[in-house]
Structure 1
Amino acid sequence: MTMSRPTSRASRIERRFESLIWKFRLVTLIPVVMSLIGSISCFVLGTYAELSVLYKVAQGEFNNDNSNFLIGKVVGGIDYYLIGIALLIFGYGIYELVISDIDPRQAHQSPDRRNLLNIDSLDTLKQKLTKVIIVALIVTAFKVMVSFEVGTITELLQYCAGVLMLAFSAYLIGRTGTH
């Protein structure tokens, strides 16, 4: 009888400790909430950039001299949206991996919509984030290339190399979706 009692006590201590460890996963709610708030911030900044360009165009401030600047602001707004989407995917992914499945997503009827933010492993989260981040980098490079002025053959070659790298990046993104 004396042997079963220490085992029972050790078992209770182990259960309590494991329960505490399991509850400790809730600390990941901090990055989840902060990434969702950051996502909203990026969407607001992107919308502000887009609306400021529309305002300038409506005021008649669109001309040949500032067209590259305004196009750069539009592309910059798109960049903010993409970063917001990356933060959204990160928040959903961390929540689903560590806390719980998102029930409203599971209840949706369409399989395409249901799987849109389905994060079932760390590798899936990494793949989805990588794709969005690469697209955001492509958009950022496009923003820079819009205002890039070619004056020498070296600059032309640099510009062409940049276009080739963007095309190759887009090819690789498309290719990863088929495997």
Structure 2
Amino acid sequence: MRKQTGIQPGRIERRLERAIWKFRLITLIPVVMSLIGSISCFVIGTYAQLSVLSHVLQGRFNETYSTRLVGQVVGSIDYYLIGIALLIFGYGIYELVIADMDLRQQETTVLKRNLLNIDSLDGLKQKLTKVIVVALIVTAFKAMVGFEVSTVPELLMFCGGVLMLSFSAWLLGQSGNH
């Protein structure tokens, strides 16, 4: 004879499912941290831009120094792109794991779409990959701004770098068509 505990198997399962469902809220940690990181990157990029603007307005630049200033401007764009990648990551994780967040559409319809149209982890990866590749292209451009060409092999390396950057940009454009 089986001893009855008074708890039905269906109730245990429902409680466990509720606990597991609530556990998804742990993803709020990376969401909040990525949003804080995004803000940090935007602040650092803005500081770099303001620093360049300060030097320009004070007239403290010459031919060599202006190349460094252009490098700083391009570097600040890198910070902005990393901030955007963090923003996309935080927003995408929130929408995938926790809830849709579209304040523009208050009614709940079947056709309701999230802001980034991220339906899967693969979609989030694709959007992040595009932003990261663009950030890498900008970083390469920053390095190329100060690159001095004095020999034929250096010129060939420079041209090869430009070709690879162009090919990367073309591939990004092609991935948007599929």
Give TM-score, length-normalised by structure 1. Answer: 0.90
For 1:115 and 1:19, the matched residues in 2 are separated by: 25
Contact 2:89-2:128 at 8 Å conserved across structures: yes
Q: CA deviation at 1:118?
A: 2.2
How much is the aligned-residue C-alpha RMSD, in angstroms? Answer: 2.0
* Structure 2 unaligned spans of 5+: 107-112
Higher share of residues assigned helix: 1
The 3 A distance-change label for structure 1 pair 115 and 170 is farther
The 3 A distance-change label for structure 1 pair 136 and 24 is same
Kindly indicate whether residue 144 of structure 2 is the aligned counterpart of residue 141 of structure 1: no
The alignment partner of 2:103 has SS state of helix
Query: Paired residue for 2:60?
Result: 61
* Structure 1 unaligned spans of 5+: 108-113
Kindly indicate whether residue 54 of structure 2 is the aligned counterpart of residue 77 of structure 1: no
Q: CA deviation at 1:34?
A: 0.4
Query: Paired residue for 2:127?
Result: 128
For 1:155 and 1:7, the matched residues in 2 are separated by: 81
The 3 A distance-change label for structure 1 pair 99 and 144 is same
What do residues 136-167 of structure 1 show as CA deviations (whole Å, max 9, x unaligned)? 00000000000011122211111111101100
Give TM-score, length-normalised by structure 2. Answer: 0.90
- Counterpart amino acid of residue 64 in structure 2: D
- Alignment length (residue pairs): 172
Query: Paired residue for 2:24?
Result: 25
Alignment of 1:25-174 (within 5 A): 25-107=24-106, 116-174=115-173
The alignment partner of 2:167 has SS state of helix
Q: CA deviation at 1:106?
A: 3.9
What do residues 94-119 of structure 1 show as CA deviations (whole Å, max 9, x unaligned)? 00000000031545xxxxxx765221
For 2:6 and 2:102, the matched residues in 1 are separated by: 39
For 1:106 and 1:82, the matched residues in 2 are separated by: 28
Percent identity of paired positions between Structure 1 and Structure 2 = 73
Contact 2:24-2:98 at 8 Å conserved across structures: yes
